[in-house]
Amino acid sequence: MKDLEDVANAAEDASNSRAFVIAARAGFAVSGLLHLLIGVIAVRLALGDSQDADQGGAMAQLAAQPAGVVLLWAGAVACLALGLWQLSEVIFGYRRVAVRRRLGKKLAAAGQGIVFFVLAIGFASFGLGNRKESSESTSDATAQVMSMPFGPMLLLLVGAGIAITGVVFVIRGLLKSFTKQIVLPASKALRRGTLILGVLGYMAKGVALFLVGLLVIVATLQSDPEESTGLDGALKSLREQPFGDYALIFTGVGLGCYGLFLIVKSRVAKMD
Q: Where are the domains of the chain?
A: 2-268
- State the CB neighbour count (10 A cutoff) for residue 131: 12
* Range with lowest mean pLDDT among 23-32, 206-215, 237-246: 237-246
Residue 43 predicted with pLDDT over 70: yes
Phi, psi of 261 (to 5 degrees): -60, -40
* Range with lowest mean pLDDT among 5-9, 191-195, 240-244: 5-9
Q: Count the helix, strand and coil residues of the chain and give each as a percent rounded to the nearest 5.
A: 80, 0, 20
* Range with lowest mean pLDDT among 20-24, 40-44, 101-105, 112-116: 101-105
Q: Using one digit for the tens of pLDDT, what is the confidence trace for 78-107?
A: 989 988 888 888 887 777 777 777 787 788
Spatial separation of the C-alpha atoms in residues 44 and 41, rounded to whole Å: 5
Closest CA to 156 of 213, 194, 81: 213
CB 204 within 8 A of CB 271: no
State the number of CA atoms in the 13 A half-sphere of 100 facing the CB: 0
Spatial CB neighbours of 163, under 8 Å, sequence gap ≥ 6: 209, 210, 212, 213, 214, 217
Q: pLDDT value at position 8?
A: 46
Q: In whole numbers, what is the pLDDT of the chain averaged over residues?
A: 79
Q: Using one digit for the tens of pLDDT, what is the confidence trace for 133-169?
A: 555 555 556 666 666 777 678 878 888 888 898 899 9
Average pLDDT over residues 260-272: 85
- In terms of average pLDDT, the best of 2-16, 117-131, 237-251 is 117-131
- State the CB neighbour count (10 A cutoff) for residue 5: 9
Q: pLDDT value at position 216?
A: 78
Q: pLDDT value at position 175?
A: 93
- In terms of average pLDDT, the best of 104-118, 210-224, 254-268 is 254-268
CB 209 within 8 A of CB 235: no
